[in-house]
Amino acid sequence: MGIATIWSFHIPPAMNFQNPQLARIFVWHFPCPMIAVSLLMLSAWFSFRYLRTHDRAWDERALASQELAFIFSVLTMLTGMLFSKVMWGAWWQQDPRQTSFLMVLVIYATYFILRGAFPDAERRAANTAAYALAAIGPALFLIFVFPRLPQIQSFHPSDTIMKGKLTGEYGIVVSIMVVLMTILSAWLYRLRIRVGLLELEKEKSYERMDARGGGPASSGVVRRISVSGEN
């Protein structure tokens, strides 16, 4: 990552942009929405699996995907705003692409609000899984369809990659950064999953202890008493 970062500052300026020197933020901006959308779709799949099996491991996977997707979505917005300031002189352009991605961010922020509203774990998992499934449709519409509607005029370049305008060293650095950030997100995801599954296992062990009658609260402070009929 360090080498790719240093290399990104030494590649030739991107000639297709208004401010070629400062357009290097694109190297960081481009992978973020790709990873965010992939994680959102993964989260929807895990949510579907949870609703089919009611296995909370799937819920943990969905939560991990949502958290990482949200982080990468925020990074997308921040790098995009930086790009907007550099290219067009304003942090916020009322651009349809910017606005629609902000709506996606709001949709998935609501996921976490909903998650915090249910004290019961099973109900929380079921309702947030249902929301994640219901939200994936509008999210994909806002990301892929809305900015491309004929009546929508956007500053956001949409054909730079498709028309092969990223060539030479610039294209190589962008490709390397995509691969590296994908690996980074996969590593973070695996760490988060491991934490989530360990927490789930801890919760299950407490439930097993409670079921046997010797839960953590009763082990040190409160002792079981038995009432016998003998005097």
Partner 1 sequence: MSNSNWRTEIGAVLRKELITEFRTKNGLLTSGLFGFVTVVTLNLAMFSVSKNADMAAGLYWVAVLFASILALPRTFLVEEDQGTGDLLRLIAQPHSVFWGKALFNLLLILAIGLGLSGLFVTLMETKVVYAGLFFGSIVTGCASLAGAVTLCGALVARAANRFALAAAVSAPLLLSILSFGVSTMRTALGAGGTNGWTLVMGAFCYAVVLFAIGPWIFAAVWKK
Of 78-86, 104-112, 169-177, 204-212, which part binds partner 1 (CB under 8 A)? 104-112
Q: Is the dihedral of CA 15, 17, 19, 24 positive or negative?
A: negative
Identify which of 223, 215, 178, 221 has the alpha carbon closest to the alpha carbon of residue 32: 178
Q: How far, CA to CA in Å, does 199 sit from each of 41, 196, 206?
A: 24, 5, 11
Q: Site for partner 1 (CB under 8 A): which residue of 75, 142, 173, 181?
A: 142
For the CB of residue 112, give the shortest distance to partner 1 in the complex, in Å: 11
Residues belonging to the chain = 231
Contact string (CB under 8 A) for partner 1, positions 168-207, x = contact:
----------------------------------------
Cα separation, 7 vs 2, whole angstroms: 8
Q: Site for partner 1 (CB under 8 A): which residue of 21, 110, 167, 175?
A: 110
Of 61-69, 74-82, 121-129, 155-163, which part binds partner 1 (CB under 8 A)? 121-129
Q: Applying CB under 8 A, does 91 fall inside the site for partner 1?
A: no
209 alpha-carbon distance from chain centroid: 35
4 alpha-carbon distance from chain centroid: 23
Identify which of 205, 230, 199, 198 has the alpha carbon closest to the alpha carbon of residue 219: 205
For the CB of residue 89, give the shortest distance to partner 1 in the complex, in Å: 25
Q: Applying CB under 8 A, does 106 fall inside the site for partner 1?
A: yes
With respect to partner 1, which residue has the nearer C-beta, 133 or 209? 133
Query: What DSSP character marks residue 9?
Result: T
Of 32-40, 56-64, 113-121, 172-180, which part binds partner 1 (CB under 8 A)? 113-121
Cα separation, 191 vs 197, whole angstroms: 10
Of 10-18, 22-30, 84-92, 117-125, which part binds partner 1 (CB under 8 A)? 117-125
Q: Site for partner 1 (CB under 8 A): which residue of 15, 55, 123, 167?
A: 123
Q: Applying CB under 8 A, does 53 fall inside the site for partner 1?
A: no
For the CB of residue 15, give the shortest distance to partner 1 in the complex, in Å: 34
List of residues contacting partner 1 (CB under 8 A): 51, 103, 106-107, 109-110, 113-114, 117-119, 122-123, 126-127, 129-131, 133-135, 137-138, 141-142, 146, 149-151
